[in-house]
Amino acid sequence: MAAANGVGVSLPDLFDLSGRTALVTGASRGIGALAARALDDAGARVILCARDIGRLREAGQTLRNDPIAMRADLSDRQGVTSLLSDLAGYADHVDILINNAGTHAAGEAMELAPDVWDEVQNVNLRSAFLLARGLAPAMARRGWGKIVNMASVLGVVADVDASAYVASKAGLLGLTRALGTEWAGRGITVNALCPGWIDTDMVSDLRSRDSFDRRVLRRTPAGRWGRADDLTGALIFLSSHASDFMVGQTLIIDGGLTASW
Ligand code: NAP
C-alpha cells in the first residue's frame, strides 16, 4: 500500500490500490462489473453490491483479491441502511466508494408518474449521498478516502423523455461538488465521471432502434459507442493517489459528444 498522502509517491504507486478495499454499487453487470474488475486488477479487494446476487457472484468469480458480494436494493432507504450494517465488519476499511448503481426511466415529463421519478432519484442520487455519508467518517479517521460518483453526460446536457434521469445526474454532479468541498480537508476526495453513450444493458433498447443508433454515431465525434472499459483509466485515476488534489470535479468521457456542436 502506498503512503497515506500522495506527495512524493512513486509513479507506479500513484495508481496502486494494494491493501485498499473498494465498494462498487451496481456491480452485477455493465460499467459496475468492469469497475470491479479494474479495481481488483489495481490491487484492491472489492465488495460488489446490487440486487441480483447470482450475477454479483458471477461478476466476482474472475476477481483475485477475495471479493465479497452483497445484495442490496438501493431504491429503498432501508436497503441502504441494511447494506451499511452488513458492511459493519468491513466498513472501517472501505477506502474507495464507487457510487455506480443507476436506473433510467424513459417518458415524456407531462406523463411521468411521481413514483417513477422518486425511484430514479432514490437509486441515482439518494443512495449515493447515504452511502457517502455512512462511509466517510471512517475514511476521515484514516485521513484518506476516494468517492467516485458515476454521473452521465445527461447530467451536463439534456435529452427529451429523460427528465428524471437528467435531474438525478445533474444533482449527483452538485452533490459531488458539495461533498468534495466539505471533505477535502479530511483527506477524502469526491469526484464524478460522466460517461457518454456506453453499450450496456441500460441502453440496449435504445441501441436496437436504428434511428437512435444513427443519432449516437452522428453526435459522437469518435464515431462509435463507448465500451465500459473506456472508463477504466479515469476510474483508477479517481480512485487512487493520482487524484489526491482533485476535488469536486467531473471527468467527461464521451468520445467528444459534449465538446462538439
Ligand atoms: P446497467 O447495465 O443497467 O447496470 C446498472 C447496475 O445498477 C446494475 O448492476 C444493477 O444491478 C444496479 N441497480 C439498478 N437498480 C438498483 C437498485 N435499486 N439497487 C441496487 N442496484 C441497482 O447500466 P450501466 O450502463 O452499467 O450503468 C452504470 C452507471 O453508469 C449508471 O449509474 C448509469 O446511469 C451510468 N451511465 C451509463 C451510461 C450508458 O450509456 N450505459 C451513460 C452514462 C452513465 P441489479 O439489477 O442486479 O440490481
How far apart CA 85 and CA 78 sit, in angstroms, is: 10
Instruction: Note the pLDDT tens digit of each residue in 74-119.
Output: 999 999 999 999 998 876 689 999 999 999 999 999 999 999 999 9
Looking at this protein, which amino acid is placed at residue 180? Answer: G
Pairing of strands 188-195, 145-150: parallel
Give the phi and the psi of residue 68 in degrees, each rounded to 5. Answer: -130, 135
The answer, yes or no, to whether residue 5 has pLDDT greater than 80, is: no
Lowest mean pLDDT among 7-11, 117-121, 126-130, 231-235: 7-11
Name the residue at shortest CA distance from atom 48 of ligand 1.
51
What is the pLDDT at residue 90? 78
Does ligand 1 lie within 6 Å of residue 51's CB atom? yes
Name the residue at shortest CA distance from atom 10 of ligand 1.
26
CA of 26 to the centre of ligand 1 (A): 5
The answer, yes or no, to whether residue 150 has pLDDT greater than 70, is: yes
Name the residue at shortest CA distance from atom 36 of ligand 1.
152
What is the pLDDT at residue 33? 98
Does ligand 1 lie within 6 Å of residue 78's CB atom? no
Does ligand 1 lie within 6 Å of residue 101's CB atom? yes
What is the pLDDT at residue 93? 87
CA of 103 to the centre of ligand 1 (A): 6
Does ligand 1 lie within 6 Å of residue 142's CB atom? no
Looking at the whole model, is its pTM more than 0.95?
yes
pLDDT class of 261 with cuts at 50, 70, 90: confident
Average pLDDT, the chain: 96
CA of 11 to the centre of ligand 1 (A): 32
Q: Which helix (H) or strand (E) holds 71?
A: strand 68-71
Q: Are 257 and 29 in contact (CB under 8 A)?
A: no
Q: Are 251 and 192 in contact (CB under 8 A)?
A: yes
Tell me which residues are annotated as active site: 165
- Of 38, 50, 63, the closest CA to residue 239 belongs to 38
CA of 32 to the centre of ligand 1 (A): 7
What nine digits make up the cell of 217? 454515431
The size of the chain, in residues, is: 261
What is the pLDDT at residue 196? 98
Pairing of strands 45-50, 21-25: parallel
- Of 34, 36, 151, the closest CA to residue 104 belongs to 151
How far apart CA 47 and CA 202 sit, in angstroms, is: 22
Name the residue at shortest CA distance from atom 28 of ligand 1.
31
Q: Which helix (H) or strand (E) holds 21?
A: strand 21-25
